Amino acid sequence: MLKHTAFPILLAVSCSLSAAVTPEQRLKGFLARASTLQAEFTQVQVDEKGNLGKRSSGVFYLQRPGKFRWNYQQPYHQEIVSSTGKVWFYDKDLEQVTAKKLDQAIGSTPALLLTGEVPLEKNFTIENQSDEEGIAILKLIPRNEDSGFRYVQIGLEHDSLIGMELSDNFGQLTRIYFNNLKTGVRLDPALFSFRPPAGVDVFEGQ
């Protein structure tokens, strides 16, 4: 498994590709195999000066096409669920739910790119960044200038997902590291069903 300190360095590497299989092809191959996915994750915020900030962790579930659940467990409790053509953000502590359209939600949850709901070639310019020593990195740059973020980078090690990095328009980075990733697992359909709990405030994105 790739060390957390190594992943940001590898993300910055750009080199000519000599491998027969490109990072883009690796990603597509991984997604084709991963009809379901379950993983633990750690998320780290990095400011424009490179200083590490807030750290959070939880569990991620994916069922292609179009379904995922992102459960933050530490240091706060939040659920992000793709359901019925929307992405629901539920903050238990604030007793608040926000619903966003799919194209509005990528900047808040880049894992949406893995669901198959967002056509990658249509919505992004895809750049193969590096492919060496079993580590493949590719960058997705949004074609829509109003997307709310600059790019997303995806890292794979030996054809398995290891991390993602999102750069917003304010120079801040969100890095996500995956551990104990399993594909082809049986997932409870209830994981991908969401109804706002009674009594919480609900805000619908435009």
Closest to 114 (Cα-Cα) out of 193, 49, 58, 60: 60
Domain ranges within the chain, ordered by starting residue: 21-199
**pLDDT higher than 80, residue 137:** yes
**pLDDT higher than 50, residue 19:** no
Q: CATH assignment of 21-199, given 3.40.718.10, 2.40.30.10, 2.50.20.10, 1.10.10.10?
A: 2.50.20.10
What are the tens digits of pLDDT across the range 5-18?
Answer: 555 544 444 343 34
Q: How confident is the model at residue 158 (pLDDT cuts 50, 70, 90)?
A: confident
What are the tens digits of pLDDT across the range 177-201?
Answer: 999 999 999 999 999 999 899 999 9
- Is the separation of the CB atoms in 41 and 55 below 8 Å? no
How far separated are the first and last CA of the chain, in Å rounded?
40
What are the tens digits of pLDDT across the range 36-79?
Answer: 999 999 999 998 888 888 999 999 999 988 899 999 999 999 99
For the entire predicted model, the pTM comes to 0.81
